[in-house]
Amino acid sequence: MDESDITTTKAWQDLQDHHQAMRDTSMRSLFEADDQRAGSWSHQAVDLRIDLSKHLADNHTLELLTALARQSGVEQLRDDMFNGVRINTTENRAVLHTALRNVSGRPVMVDGTDVMPDVLRVLDHMAEFSDSVRNGSWTGATGKRIRTVINIGIGGSDLGPVMAYEALRDFSQRDLALRFVSNIDATQFVEATRDLDPAETLFIISSKTFTTDETMTNATTARDWITTALGQDATANHFVAVSTNAQAVAEFGIDTANMFEFWDWVGGRYSLCSAIGLSLMIAIGKDNFHDMLAGFHAMDEHFRTAPIEQNIPMLLGLLGIWYGNFWDTRSEAILPYEQYLSRFPAYFQQGNMESNGKRVTRDGRYVSYQTGPVIWGEPGTNGQHAFYQLLHQGTDIVPVDFIGFVHPRHQVGEHHDKLMANMFAQSAALAFGKTPEEALADTKALGLPADVARHREFPGNRPSTTILAPELTPNTLGQLTALYEHKIFTQGAIWNINSFDQWGVELGKSLAKQTYAAMKDRDVTALGDASSAQLLSTYLELQDEAR
Ligand code: G6Q
């Protein structure tokens, strides 16, 4: 027996047996068996109320899942992360995004050095700079104040600021717009700049490595756009950088005094609280940014200190494992009932899929079990008129997270109460469904033929978590984001994979380089496979015909 494979452990096998026993359990029967269930399966993590009652799980499920977590050493790995151990073993790096929002005053050591003085120094630098853009004392080359800030970055250097800017737009300085350019497709740059005055535009080039092709291509186009309009010397006033690579920043022509640094222990998809958040800080101001950090930190503390049984990120991670590994579900949906969170699912699509889309264990074996799920989602209620059909009546079970707020950002008529009524109703419909008898009665009452009844059945037993927060603020956004980060951590720890590398993006990158070189040389034989060679040759021929 291979002791290091989680599927051979007692906890795993107990869960397999337990799944067999639970397969036909209905959500209705779980509630009938325990009239306290709604209350006892509701938890509080900082300001978030988390309802876990609509899960296909009973107390024994939780005992077995927490045993699995203990046995997998999740707590030790968590402590190692917080303590600066190099748990990203394939890149030999510590994983310390929690230090970026460590508002406790505690030191955080990496290799015997406290990283907090550097973290605080960069936050001060960001605050000073963002104040100067917000109050107009930082001007463009012609002396005009900055009206639009464009963050150029991709992946982890884009999605965090995009998500959080959308989420916190209501806290932003409205005479200062923030836009984002990430795609190497020029359309995004052209559309982002077409109505702008270069003299009033500031670019933040956000790239940890400062070598990413998309970002450097967009940055070069932006520099041309500025210098064509304002002259060669304008770069200094219109460009700042966020990076770990001072040399490349200087070579690009940005004064390193206007470079905001971060460190190799900040993973791209975990970098929102680092200088990568500079564009966000400019939009919402330093106080709101600090409030967001405080929210992150409060959830970090919950994750760091709560026992597994009450540790909400861990419980969410465990329930995900319960479905993925024992019920064979393949995807999870994140459904925020808050328009401002429209990019939250996309943010955690990267957060989760890049972290846990892995097939090799930390000790280098192929996994024998399913790891990260596909993550997707859209804000409610739009999804209800689109893909919820499959959630309710499709053949796949998709565990769902509903995220809603007690107080709306905009109290307009009955909008918010109607929105939330929809969210509560959807979780009930998924969980409890509509039985064949109920569907038949319904069908008859409507005067429809009886054979339509089956189409009107809802199987129910479709699990969901409901997260209810008081109000969308920088602080609660920080809490929510950290909650999901630590859920992902928990799952990676149990699956025994490295959640902090992303080698899966490399092959495509190097093939793109080769393909581009072949395109420029017009040498399709340089490509390694017949299909790609044919595609390239067709592309070149059609371009030639059009000339
Ligand atoms: C995230 C990934 C990836 C990264 C981008 C941008 O965890 O590492 O999405 O953020 O590839 O990289 P640079 O910041 O180096 O340009």
Question: Is 509 one of the catalytic residues?
Answer: yes
Cβ(6)–Cβ(494) below 8 Å? yes
Residue of 385, 506, 520, 545 marked active site: 385
Establish whether residue 207 lines the binding site of ligand 1, counting it when its CB lies within 6 angstroms of any ligand atom. Answer: yes
Helix 10-22 and helix 59-72, axial crossing angle in degrees, nearest 10 = 160
C-alpha distances in angstroms, 37 versus 25, 53, 76, 402, 426?
Answer: 15, 6, 31, 19, 19
Q: From atom 10 of ligand 1, which residue's Cα is the shortest distance away?
A: 156
Establish whether residue 243 lines the binding site of ligand 1, counting it when its CB lies within 6 angstroms of any ligand atom. Answer: no
Domains 50-82+306-501 and 98-289 share a fold: yes
Residue partners of 462: CB distance under 8 A and separation at least 6: 391, 392, 397, 398, 399, 400, 430, 431, 433
Q: How much distance in Å is there from the Cα of 157 to the middle of ligand 1?
A: 6
Which atom from ligand 1 is nearest to the alpha carbon of 214? 16
Q: How much distance in Å is there from the Cα of 502 to the middle of ligand 1?
A: 9
Q: How much distance in Å is there from the Cα of 154 to the middle of ligand 1?
A: 6
Establish whether residue 267 lines the binding site of ligand 1, counting it when its CB lies within 6 angstroms of any ligand atom. Answer: yes
CATH superfamily label, 98-289 = Glucose-6-phosphate isomerase like protein; domain 1 (3.40.50.10490)
Residue of 354, 378, 457, 485 marked active site: 354
pTM of the shown model: 0.97
Question: Is 385 one of the catalytic residues?
Answer: yes
Q: How much distance in Å is there from the Cα of 217 to the middle of ligand 1?
A: 15
Establish whether residue 268 lines the binding site of ligand 1, counting it when its CB lies within 6 angstroms of any ligand atom. Answer: yes
Residue of 418, 455, 509, 513 marked active site: 509
SS3 of 55-105: the string is: CCCCHHHHHHHHHHHHHHCHHHHHHHHHCCCCCECCCCECCCHHHHCCCCC
Establish whether residue 208 lines the binding site of ligand 1, counting it when its CB lies within 6 angstroms of any ligand atom. Answer: yes
Which atom from ligand 1 is nearest to the alpha carbon of 215? 16
Which of 62, 99, 54, 63 lies closest to 81, judged by CA?
99
pLDDT of residue 1: 43
Cβ(54)–Cβ(466) below 8 Å? yes
CATH architecture group of domain 50-82+306-501: 3-Layer(aba) Sandwich (3.40)
Specify the residue for token string 């307009």. 412
Q: How much distance in Å is there from the Cα of 516 to the middle of ligand 1?
A: 21
Report the amino acid identity of residue 45. Answer: A
Q: How much distance in Å is there from the Cα of 152 to the middle of ligand 1?
A: 12
pLDDT of residue 547: 84
For 146-164, b where at least 16 C-beta lie within 10 A, e where not — what string?
Answer: bbbbbbbbbbbbbbbbbbb
Name the DSSP class of 326.
I
Helix 474-495 and helix 286-305, axial crossing angle in degrees, nearest 10 = 40
Q: From atom 11 of ligand 1, which residue's Cα is the shortest distance away?
A: 155
Domain ranges of the chain: 50-82+306-501, 98-289, 504-546
* DSSP string computed for 343-359: THHHHHHHHHHHHH---
Residue partners of 113: CB distance under 8 A and separation at least 6: none
Name the DSSP class of 325.
I
Weakly modelled stretches of the chain, pLDDT under 50: 1
Establish whether residue 157 lines the binding site of ligand 1, counting it when its CB lies within 6 angstroms of any ligand atom. Answer: yes
- Four-point Cα dihedral 516, 520, 526, 532, nearest 10: 50
Establish whether residue 155 lines the binding site of ligand 1, counting it when its CB lies within 6 angstroms of any ligand atom. Answer: yes
Q: How much distance in Å is there from the Cα of 207 to the middle of ligand 1?
A: 7
Establish whether residue 502 lines the binding site of ligand 1, counting it when its CB lies within 6 angstroms of any ligand atom. Answer: yes
Cβ(372)–Cβ(351) below 8 Å? no
66-84 confidence digits (pLDDT tens): 999 999 999 999 999 999 9
527 bridge partner residues: none
Burial class (CB in 10 A: 0-12, 13-18, 19+), 24: exposed
Residue partners of 39: CB distance under 8 A and separation at least 6: none
Which helix (DSSP H) or strand (DSSP E) does residue 10 occupy?
A: helix 10-22
Q: From atom 1 of ligand 1, which residue's Cα is the shortest distance away?
A: 268
pLDDT of residue 546: 85
Report the amino acid identity of residue 440. Answer: L
Please give the backbone phi and psi of residue 406, each rounded to the nearest 5 degrees, phi first: -70, -45
* DSSP string computed for 140-207: -TTSPBP-EEEEE--GGGTHHHHHHHHHTGGGS-TTSEEEEE--SSHHHHHHHHTT--GGGEEEEEE-
Q: From atom 5 of ligand 1, which residue's Cα is the shortest distance away?
A: 155
220-276 confidence digits (pLDDT tens): 999 999 999 999 999 999 999 999 999 999 999 999 999 999 999 999 999 999 999
